[in-house]
Amino acid sequence: MAPRVKLEKAAWLWVESVKPEDIKQEHIELAYRINIPACKRGICRRNCKGNPNCLVGIGEQVWLGEIDENTFHNIDDPNSERREKNIFVGLTNLGATCYVNTFLQVWFHNLELRRSLYKCQNSRAQEHNIDSDYEPQSICEHLQYLFALLQNSNRKYIDPSGLVKALGLDTGQQQDAQEFSNLFLSLLEETLSKEKNPNLQNLIQQQFCGQFFYVTICNQCGRSSTLPSRFYELELNIQGHKNLTECITEFLKEEKLDGENRYFCENCQSKQNATRRIRLHSLPPTLNLQLMRFVFDRQTGLKKKLNTFINFPEQLDMEPFLERKLDQKCVYELSAVLIHRGISAYSGHYIAHVKDALTGDWYKFNDEEIEKMEGKKLQLGIEEDIAETGKTQSRKPKCSKGYHCSRNAYMLVYKLQEEESSDSLRTNVEVPSFLQKLVDQDNHKFEEWCMEMANMRKLSVDKGRAKHEEVKELYDLLPAKDGEPYEFIPLDWLKKWLDDSTATKEIDSSIFLCSHGKLHPDKMGEIKRVSLQAAKLLYERYGGGPRLDGSSLCRDCVSERCRVLRLKKQLDEDYKEISNLVKRMPSEGYWVGKASLRSWRQLALEQLEEDDDESRHSNGQTNGQGPHTNNKFGLDVSGGAEDETETFNEDIICNHGGLSILEAERKLVSTEVWTKLREYFPKAPEFPHIQEPCRQCLTLEQEEKDNEAVSKMMALDQKNQLLNLFHEKNRPTLIKWPQGTDRLYIVPLFFVEEWRKFIRRPTKSSPVSNVGNSLLLCPHGGFMFTYDSLINGEAQHIALLWPNEWEVISRLFIVDKPIVIHCVRQTTPDSSTTLYTTQPDLCWECRESFLFQQQRDLREYTQATVYIRKVIEDKMTAKDGTPELNACSSEAEEEREELPKVDGDKDPDFSQSQDGAKRMKLNDSCEASAATTSGTSMIKSGGIRRSTRHRKLRGEKALIVSANQTLKELKIQIMHAFSVAPFDQNLSIDGKGLTDDSATLGSLGVIPECIICLKADEPVTDYAAMDDAYQVRMPEEGFKGTGLLGH
């Protein structure tokens, strides 16, 4: 089938030879494409939207032929959630709780621990009513219930959120697994110590606790000091070692105590050189060996992971490491390996390989997924296939028989080897009846859920089969045959009807109606023609409306489209003719706006397009009037400064509705040209050549000229009387009081700035009428500044006047309150002093309030800018304070002489704005600049107005900060801006170091617009450590605030 655009064009080819009044039924059917041949399946690959008779590719392909019943639903087989035979139960990962899951599985497989926990008193579980959900409270209760579910649940995996919530762990933050193990066992030990059963009180010590001695020998007197200590795990350093034996040997090796580490010998009563070593005394049944993969890097200040390969045996003989040979057995068998996958200490994934104590089989526990290893051998597999960060990848060393090698194992669990026993009481662990009752309750819920899912699958399948039969029945009836009655059905509805994933709603054809209440011809790409029989069945089953049939073809819409298309074709010919005619200079005719004349073709085309779209709405409203009912001319003309106009000939209408007085914006065209234009714009404003311009506009124009003349005279008079003030010459200063006067007058600097704008361009700026001294006074009428504050920077808000200038100001402008500063010299035989007073007097109360608020603003800011300046070897990287070349354009504009803006809305009395206070003229020397704390705070410097805004230097960047954020957070921002890690940053303000990372910027004295110097230490070469630094956004808090720490 031809593309949609070609079908649409072909539907209207007849309009070139047929006028609107000559349209017949055959033309209407052509416009609605009634007789286009229907597409056939197999030939047409996708649905032809331009053909209302194409019923291919609307979703029917999935229903034709035989269908697998699994396609009728999206419900997984509930049996996939069922525990497999001879496979253990997994644990759900709640976000970042894989480290918790691994230890829970290891402890569950400690049969003695599980058996003993089942013996703990649990009255809540024993008295539980199965009609409600069981909610454990204590840690022992949670472990009991969790272990019972892991043992006898029918589920493939269970949810440990109850225990995690009870511990107060953040499920979205990965924590140190070794620290979790230590804290949890300590918490469990404390909880069990409160049990009434004495065999349970020391359960953790009996299972995991061993003992060693710190033995210190004085080199001087030979005295030996022994300090016993318990351990629950041996923390072994792996750096520089290849196998487990080397790690244990280093743990027990002798350490020399000399220099500052000398030992205080009680026998010698002084510090002496000594040796210290650890002597293993006794070992527990379960020996936990922590391989210290996560270590603190002093260079980076962060933790890092050691990806060192370590060899470890399946059978470990600890007898060579014991100080005294005991009768107890010291041969251990490997029972679990805990793995951390990932190169960083701050991310990765935890899994566990655990040996089944009953069968000897190895299993991999990866949260919800449990995998049984082939045979009875430990297979680490892909757990060792991680990416390396170094330039050379280390090869995995060869392992002897009975040994394994890993660079990701962080904990090894060994169980004391026992003689094979047929005693089932030692190998089998039975779930107590009170816990089994709870497990059965959960299994019952699971079975109910499985049944519910199965029923839902069955309902979906039955519904799908019924829909399949319905589609096969109706789809063959859909095509409408030539000469037979037909109706129209929305294409989108047909697609949803054939899409089993969405509910079929009633048929809605209302959006396809034109303004005449019939089918719009432009909607034929969104609707399909079907047989009357099929339409009748669809409406009976699904309802809806309005129903559209052969009588719904709209003659009015077709006639209107015919007229518009013919006008569009005529438009090109008229454009060429009018373009030639307007070149002539007629003596009479009609006035047309030049902008309208330039864009009349585009305006006409847009108007025709609007007319073409006018009947698209289904509620009978039109989208605009046609050329003969043009409704645009009632709108206001917007964008008077634009070259083009939006409404024809309204660009020469003044605000009073008459002919504009601007002759340069209009052109006289002949009557012939105007007649052709009127065909497209019949409602356009008409102005014959004899039309006179608007009288009101002429009057206003003359008044404006008169006002400009008055403003020029006023500006010239004020300038001549205040010539020095205008040119900034001979200005008084406060630092060096002028001779010959004992008083100076003060006015706001903004008043002077606005007055100068008016003097420079009196016709474009409004005259200043009010001095506005109230801006410098408090609500009580007192002055807000002191003499000292004015000479120390606050003079940027004021301007100083000579007494004779003040007399002129008083005559020319309205003065609300004079402000005078007096200089009183007191001379005595011994000395002379100078006092400065103001009138009105200083209001100390408001002054102190002003200073307090000023300081508060500097300490309680949000979204303020500070500048970070990177220095190298105590020298700024930017030499001579050279500004950055990419300074913003707004700063460049401030370098130029400020030009007054045309702004008639500005209040000439400058009661709101204080822009003028932001600009100063600076001299080349700082000393001269200080002297400018005077009248205008300005000194002539080559006629250039320079910005007081902070200039960024090379090596300097601006950051947005708040007073309540910490220094640590600022360092993170600096790290992203300068690629300098936080631990390499040395920050200071005015030579004072910023060192407390937890302190807020406000408390450290960081204020808006201040400059913070950054001195970076030598960058580290450990890129993995830099990667860790980017991941650590906030200081580590570990398990602070969780139940593991008791708060």
**Alpha-carbon gap, residue 783 to 772, rounded angstroms:** 13
694 classed as catalytic? no
Single-letter amino acid code for the residue at 414 = Y
Q: Which residues of 783-812 are buried (b: 16+ CB within 10 A; e: fewer)?
A: bbbebebbbeeebbbbbbbbeebbeebeeb
Residue 745 · residue 725 · CB < 8 Å: no
Query: Kind of pairing, strands 507-508 and 544-545?
Result: parallel
**Alpha-carbon gap, residue 730 to 738, rounded angstroms:** 10
Closest by Cα among 531, 512, 510, 509 to 521: 512
138-141 contacts, C-beta under 8 A, 24 or more apart: 138/191, 139/163, 139/166, 139/167, 139/187, 139/188, 139/191, 139/1043, 140/188, 140/191, 140/192, 140/195
Q: Alpha helices of 769-840 — where are they, by DSSP H?
A: 787-791, 803-812
> Where does 342-402 show beta strands of DSSP type E?
349-355, 362-366, 369-372
Enter the tokens of residue 863.
Answer: 């979204």
**Alpha-carbon gap, residue 71 to 62, rounded angstroms:** 9
Residue 218 · residue 264 · CB < 8 Å: no
349 classed as catalytic? yes
Residue 344 · residue 176 · CB < 8 Å: no
Residue 615 · residue 515 · CB < 8 Å: yes
**Alpha-carbon gap, residue 633 to 576, rounded angstroms:** 25
Closest by Cα among 968, 953, 947, 965 to 868: 953
Catalytic residue among 73, 128, 281, 349: 349
Enter the tokens of residue 893.
Answer: 């504009």
CA distances from 760 to 411, 707, 747, 855 (A): 83, 16, 20, 39
**Alpha-carbon gap, residue 123 to 991, rounded angstroms:** 67
CA distances from 673 to 585, 644, 676, 683 (A): 12, 20, 5, 16
Question: In this structure, what are the phi and psi dihedrals at residue 996, rounded to the nearest 5 degrees?
Answer: -80, 100
Residue 702 · residue 694 · CB < 8 Å: no
Query: Kind of pairing, strands 864-872 and 1011-1016?
Result: parallel
Catalytic residue among 48, 54, 98, 554: 98
| Angle (nearest 5°) at CA 22 between 16 and 23 | 80
9 Cβ contact partners less than 8 Å away, ≥ 6 residues apart: none
**Alpha-carbon gap, residue 181 to 188, rounded angstroms:** 11
CA distances from 240 to 237, 306, 342, 716 (A): 9, 10, 20, 90
The secondary element (H helix, E strand) that includes residue 403 is strand 403-406
The secondary element (H helix, E strand) that includes residue 398 is none
- Torsion-angle region of residue 571: left (phi > 0), alpha (psi -120 to 50) or beta? alpha
User: Helix %, strand %, coil % for the chain, to 5?
Assistant: 40, 20, 40
**Alpha-carbon gap, residue 997 to 1014, rounded angstroms:** 15
The secondary element (H helix, E strand) that includes residue 83 is none
Closest by Cα among 348, 355, 335, 340 to 308: 340
The secondary element (H helix, E strand) that includes residue 294 is strand 294-297
Catalytic residue positions, numbered: 98, 349
